[in-house]
Chains A and B, each alone.
Chain A
């Protein structure tokens, strides 16, 4: 089993930040992947496969999150999250 570990820092750019629907979108994109995902913001680290965990970050527009993934699908997980965040979480 690969122990690949990927870390990526991303900025939240959509106006409403990482609220409920974007958090659910992000979590559902990685929940089926074979890897652990954590998301950290200002020292608070949560499970990236938990909608409520991600919600509790309350990451607003302009904030920075650090995504860390470990396991066989780590690269795919980080790329998925990066894609979703870079497309403004499906919002403006």
Chain B
């Protein structure tokens, strides 16, 4: 199983993990790293290293970060450049995290990173347009 770490500004990673836990009715094996404004570079690096180490079961770690170019992404990439068993995917959102947790046992690290990157884009739709394209006739909704 691929380890998963979510790293983002402030409490975003923790809240993404909370939402995922609530939806799945269980706490998935995901490490959340909160990048606080007050945290210095050494502290952030240590938080990331500790989380990656905790998440790693020997098959590699997928780090999902929020903003490409942001501190979480840069700290994660610094680590990934030293360790081949780490892949970093940016732009994390709830569907990406659900997808990563759902399929962390189905793929190797590179394939999972590729899937999450691709699917992350697919899950962003203009809801009205998507609904129009994917549906034909609709049945009337149930009455309360």
Q: Which residue from chain B places its CB closest to the CB of A19 in the assembled complex?
A: B23
User: Is there a chain B Cβ closer than 8 Å to A38's Cβ?
Assistant: no
14 A-B residue pairings within 8 Å (CB atoms) = A21-B25, A27-B102, A42-B134, A42-B136, A43-B136, A50-B103, A51-B24, A52-B99, A55-B95, A58-B131, A60-B138, A60-B141, A62-B139, A64-B139
Q: Which residue from chain A places its CB closest to the CB of B119 in the assembled complex?
A: A52
Q: How far is the CB of A90 from chain B (nearest CB, A)?
A: 9
Separation of A44 and B135 alpha carbons in the complex (Å): 8
B134 and A20 form a contact (CB under 8 A)? no
B99 and A50 form a contact (CB under 8 A)? yes
Q: Which residue from chain A places its CB closest to the CB of B99 in the assembled complex?
A: A52
B136 proximity list for chain A (CB < 8 A):
42-43
Q: How far is the CB of A29 from chain B (nearest CB, A)?
A: 11
User: Is there a chain A Cβ closer than 8 Å to B15's Cβ?
Assistant: no
B residues neighboring A (CB under 8 Å): 22-25, 95, 98-99, 102-103, 119, 123, 131, 134-142, 144
Q: What count of chain A residues pass the 8 Å CB interface test? A: 24
B23 proximity list for chain A (CB < 8 A):
20-21, 24, 51
User: Is there a chain B Cβ closer than 8 Å to A56's Cβ?
Assistant: yes
Total A-B pairs, Cβ < 8 A: 53
Q: Which residue from chain A places its CB closest to the CB of B120 in the assembled complex?
A: A52
Separation of A28 and B102 alpha carbons in the complex (Å): 9
Separation of A51 and B137 alpha carbons in the complex (Å): 24
B95 and A52 form a contact (CB under 8 A)? yes
A50 proximity list for chain B (CB < 8 A):
99, 102-103
Q: Which residue from chain A places its CB closest to the CB of B22 in the assembled complex?
A: A21
Apart from A42-B136, A62-B140, what 4 extra A-B contacts exist at CB < 8 Å?
A: A20-B23, A27-B102, A52-B123, A62-B139
Separation of A50 and B141 alpha carbons in the complex (Å): 25
A61: contacting residue among B22, B119, B142, CB under 8 A: B142
Q: Which residue from chain B places its CB closest to the CB of A22 in the assembled complex?
A: B23
Separation of A31 and B141 alpha carbons in the complex (Å): 29
Separation of A13 and B136 alpha carbons in the complex (Å): 19
B25 and A62 form a contact (CB under 8 A)? no
Separation of A51 and B144 alpha carbons in the complex (Å): 27
B-facing residues in A5-59 (Cβ within 8 Å) = 13, 15, 20-21, 24-25, 27-28, 31, 42-44, 49-52, 55-56, 58
